Every structure is written in C-alpha cells, then in structure tokens.
Amino acid sequence: MTSLLGLLRLRSHLASWVSLVGVILTDRVDLWAAALRQERLRLLQMVGLVVAMLSLVLLGLLSLTAAVVVALWSVSPVGVLLGVAGLYILAALMALLRLRSLSQQVPFSSATESLKRDCKKLDRILRGVHARPERSTGPVAHGS
C-alpha cells in the first residue's frame, strides 16, 4: 500500500515538473519569436538605409561629375551643383552613421538574458535552494 502511494506521489511530482518545463519552454519560444520579429524589422531597416545611402552617394557623384563638366564650361552653375552634391553626400553620411548604430546592437540580447535568468532559477530549484522573491518593478506595491 505504501509503495503504491509512493508511486502516485512520484507520478504527481513528475507531472508537475513536466508541466513546469512545458510552461517554461512555451514562454521561451514566444520570447524568441518576438525577438526574431524584432531582428527581422531591424534587418529590413538596415537594408533600406543601405539602399538609400547608395542612391544618395550615386546622386552625389553624378552631381560632382556635372559640376566638373560645368566648371570647365562656365563658372556660375558650379556653386549650385557643388552645394547639391554636398547635400547628397551629407545625407549619405547621416544614413551611414545610422546604419552603423543599428549594426552595433546585439541581436536577441534581451531574450538571451531572460533565458540565462531562467536557467539560473531552475538550477536553484533543482538544487533545493530557495530563491529570494523578486522585487516588483511595477508602479503597484504588493501587500501594503
């Protein structure tokens, strides 16, 4: 009778652990899916900025070429064409700086950190060390 009771308790504990692992895995998959969507959007922004930068550089080079041609032909339109070329190149430099800042972000950083925290918590639970309750960072205080 006691062995049957022990088996039932073991089954109950195993079922709760399987349920806990299922919940953790579901949360992690959802988090990684959201992070993947965010990284996809960032990649699309970077591709758009590369296309814009290359287009602006091309326009700047065309304007510089036209300025050289006009400079040999006449003196007055050179200032205007050089100004337009300068604006195109300035815009391309701004796009390049934005592209650099986007490319320096670490992909999936928040998802990775959350997964590391969960692994540490699970390790403490499995070792039998009671975790300290987490502090609430929200605007509502509990139990006042």
pLDDT in tens, the chain (144 residues): 567 777 777 777 777 888 888 888 888 888 888 888 898 999 999 999 999 999 999 888 888 878 767 776 676 677 777 777 888 899 899 999 999 988 887 777 777 788 788 888 877 877 776 655 555 554 544 443
The pLDDT value recorded for residue 116 is: 83
pLDDT of residue 2: 67
CA dihedral 18→135→36→106, nearest 10 degrees, is -130
Q: What is the DSSP string of 96-138?
A: HHHHHHHHTSPTTHHHHHHHHHHHHHHHHHHHTPPPPPPPP-S
